[in-house]
Structure 1
Amino acid sequence: MPRITARSVPEHREAQRRAILDATRALLTARPDVEPTFADVAARAGLSRPSIYHYFPTRDDLFQAVVVETLPRWREAVTAATAAQDEPMARVAAYADASLTLVAQGEHAVISALASFSPRAFADPWVARMHGEMVEPLVAALRDAGVEHPETLAELVNAVVHKAGAMVEAGADVALVRGAVRSLLAPLLPQGPQV
């Protein structure tokens, strides 16, 4: 085993922390209905169980760290997808598409599992704010389209996307569900989403 020098200690610590977070995400993605224990995480990360405590004293601390990483990734993916479109209705469709793609990739299952296993992980004001900001690209697109009450319509669009995501998580074909969401949203939005 290579000797860890004083200069490499921060890198070593960050690599171990990264391994713990990645192991936790992998366990939650594979079995979102099973709360991972520190023993599970340590085994998956290739570390000893006591070493987990050096980074995360409790499972709530660990789960909150995963939340803090997951929410910005979700927001960045949705923001990038909507920003790639010029027309407001195309941005609405891109928002729905990106959200369903993330669901199909297991991101929503991770967030849902964390919310179930550790509600405290979502209690941090930053997490609550980040979660709320995830809808901003949708509200902006609806506002740019001249929709009255864009915040209200965004909630309804999100309800459709949430239900569609649940269908994808239950095994429905993501392309089929995506097409159905676009068909459902088209008559509700001025000029319909661009496809």
Structure 2
Amino acid sequence: MPRITAPTVAEHRAAQQRALLDAARELLAEGEPEIPGFAEVAARAGLARSSMYQYFRSRQHLLEALIEDAFPRWSARVDEAMAAAGAPDRRILAYVTANLDLVAEGEHAIASAIAAVAPSEKVNRASAEMHNQLKAPLVDALDELGVPDAAETADLVNAVVHAASRQIEAGADVAAVRSRATALIEPYVTLVAHRTGYGNSTT
């Protein structure tokens, strides 16, 4: 990999840090049995091992940076898909498909690998907080749709998403899993949409 260059020092540093995080993510996605070592990450990024110490104090610090990096990327994708969907019933379906698309791209495997290689109270707490934040727009859409007990219903929707995610990670056909998950949830949101005045917004 060629040396990273950028117009400014700040941009150069940001590009290097991005390259190192991406390299660590790739190693975890490949089934790395532990937190990748600095030499291994730097080599994957095409940088000197000493570059790691400019951004990360330790392997644990690298892990924390990976966690902080993973959630905004995932959340932004889901938020973007939901925002483009329009009506709340469509946003709920977009939430399902966007999450499954991310699983298919390997993002969930990376998160699972992080939890597996470094289980800790801090990692578990961060993971729970991220899931709660990610669930918030789903709860909002359900509430706007007029669903009673929106938070509890969101947990049921997520149960379908999680089950579908496990099927994808086990090697099932992504399109088939996505279709099954949508087939389970769409009739419900369509029914509620009709009852609460959103009409045929899912058609």
Give me the TM-score of the superposition, normalised by structure 1: 0.84
Counterpart residue number, 1:186: 186
Residue segments in structure 1 that go unaligned for 5+ positions in a row = none
Counterpart residue number, 2:198: none
Could you tell me how far 1:90 is from its partner in structure 2?
A: 1.4
Q: Which moved more, 1:133-142 or 1:43-52?
A: 43-52
Residue segments in structure 2 that go unaligned for 5+ positions in a row = 194-201
Asked if the contact 2:35/2:59 (under 8 Å) is kept, the reply is: no
Separation (CA, whole Å) in 1 of partners of 2:32 and 2:172: 17
Q: Equivalent residue of 1:84, what SS?
A: helix
Could you tell me how far 1:39 is from its partner in structure 2?
A: 2.4
Q: Which moved more, 1:173-182 or 1:15-24?
A: 15-24
Deviation per residue, 1:82-126 (Å, 9 max, x gap): 11123222111110000000001111111111122234563676x
Separation (CA, whole Å) in 1 of partners of 2:128 and 2:54: 26
Q: Which moved more, 1:139-148 or 1:94-103?
A: 139-148
Structure 1 residues 148 and 8, CA gap change in structure 2 (3 angstroms): closer
Deviation per residue, 1:134-157 (Å, 9 max, x gap): 011111111111111010010111
Separation (CA, whole Å) in 1 of partners of 2:11 and 2:99: 34
> Equivalent pairs: percent with the same residue?
45
Counterpart residue number, 2:162: 162
The number of aligned residues is 191
Q: Describe how 1:116-131 pairs up with structure 2 within 5 A.
A: 116-120=116-120, 122=123, 129-131=129-131
Q: Which moved more, 1:171-180 or 1:48-57?
A: 48-57
Separation (CA, whole Å) in 1 of partners of 2:65 and 2:34: 18
Deviation per residue, 1:23-66 (Å, 9 max, x gap): 11122223365542222212101223343233212112111111
Counterpart residue number, 1:41: 41
Asked if the contact 2:34/2:118 (under 8 Å) is kept, the reply is: no
Structure 1 residues 87 and 16, CA gap change in structure 2 (3 angstroms): closer
Separation (CA, whole Å) in 1 of partners of 2:60 and 2:9: 26
C-alpha RMSD of matched pairs (Å): 2.7
Q: Which moved more, 1:24-33 or 1:163-172?
A: 24-33
Structure 1 residues 13 and 83, CA gap change in structure 2 (3 angstroms): closer
Higher relative contact order (CA 8 A, sep 6+): 1
